Amino acid sequence: MHAPSDHRDSADFSPDSRLAWVRLVLALAIGSIGSVGLWSVVVSIPVVQAEFAATRGAVSLAFTLTMLGFGLGGVATGRITDRFGIVAAIALSISILGVAYVLAGLSTTLWQFNAVYALIGLGTSATFAPLMAEVSHWFERYRGLAVTIVASGNYIAGTIWPPLITFGIQSVGWRTTHIATGIFCAVTMTLLLLVLRARIGGAKLRNHDNAPPPRVDLALSTNTLTSLLCIASVACCVAMAMPQVHIVAYCGDLGYGPVHGAEMLSLMMAFGIVSRIGSGYLADKIGGIRTLLIGSVAQGFALLFYLFFDSLSSLYIISAMFGLFQGGIVPSYAIIVRESMPAREAATRVGIVILASVVGMSFGGWVSGVIFDATGSYGAAFINGLAWNALNITIMVGLLLRAQSRLALA
């Protein structure tokens, strides 16, 4: 008697099975490696600036283009995932990521380096929104937990990659480091993808074909709900960007120095991992809308604390709290999409909402700096973040009340 083939395993696949958890581990590994694009640019800015004798603003454009490629790429690779499967989307990202890193290492001008980082952002994109949507099809009982686990890949990358890139730059230079990073990512991600493909049963298998149907009825069209979630996503991420983007500068202004600010940022990321996984567990118990609402309210309280406490010890504590409160917010959007929209378009819709979050983070980081320039302090910037956070809470409360009223009428 022959053992069942991988294809047969995928045909007999059931949500929450052992095979689903195997897939989740592979997806997390792919996401943790592929998210290098979100962090390598931050570490590389000083040395690239020195080599090209450029201004800090000119080199920082690479980060802006990375986020732009990441956001727009999430929509494109999400669409590819919905039509052809996650394997096709990840394969495309691997190709772009590998080539782009090599090209970055070969850049002879700053504009080439900046432009290539837009491609790196595109190559990174399939490792976040499409992966979250895809994983949501593999689980029913533990869907929230699974989605937030795979979403933690970019935080894990933020923990692992910066010191590795820094070591590489100090040892062999930024050019060789970029080329080596591209080759490493291409090889390791391809091997992991081949194993994942075997566990799925084929490159074109679309896991949403047999995915469980939506379980939350909001009586809203998918376009209307997507628009509301995009507005909410922009709002929460404008608030989220204030501490994440400016905590280092804020510590410098207070006289504590940038080192303490960098440590606070790392603390946020570390507690963000805990928050993401914990919010997934909570979402499985109470649903995505309630989980996001709790995270948004808690994030507002943390921002409020920044207004009233600015001693060094209190800033460490508040930064840890902020990371613990906000880490699960963005993945909760993916859970809401999967709970309330058809599975066949989940990856595209999640990609659109994540694009909105990128817009919110970019705008939030920029407008906080503008407010600081106009007022001479970050107090008004924190208040601005609180106002945007209130908009997010308002939308989530509205969706929750609508869901409860629909449930009462059922």
Amino acid 1: pLDDT = 39
Please check the confidence at residue 208 and state whether its pLDDT lies above 60: no
pLDDT per residue as tens digits for the range 279-317: 999 999 999 999 999 999 999 999 999 999 989 999 999
Please check the confidence at residue 98 and state whether its pLDDT lies above 90: yes
Q: Does domain 6-210 have CATH number 1.20.1250.20?
A: yes
Residue 230 Cα distances to 8, 253, 297, 397, angstroms: 39, 33, 18, 15
The superfamily (CATH) of domain 222-409 is MFS general substrate transporter like domains (1.20.1250.20)
> What's the predicted TM-score (pTM) here?
0.81
Region at 5 (left for phi over 0; alpha for psi -120 to 50; beta for the rest) = beta
| Domain boundaries, given as residue ranges, for the chain | 6-210, 222-409
Q: What spatial distance separates the first Cα and last Cα of the chain, rounded to whole Å?
A: 50
pLDDT per residue as tens digits for the range 232-263: 999 999 999 888 878 878 888 899 887 788 78
Provide mean pLDDT across the span 100-115: 95
* H helical segments located in 14-152: 18-34, 40-52, 56-84, 86-105, 110-125, 129-136, 143-151
User: Mapping DSSP to helix (H, G, I), strand (E, B) and coil, where does residue 223 land?
Assistant: helix
Amino acid 42: pLDDT = 77
Length of the chain: 410
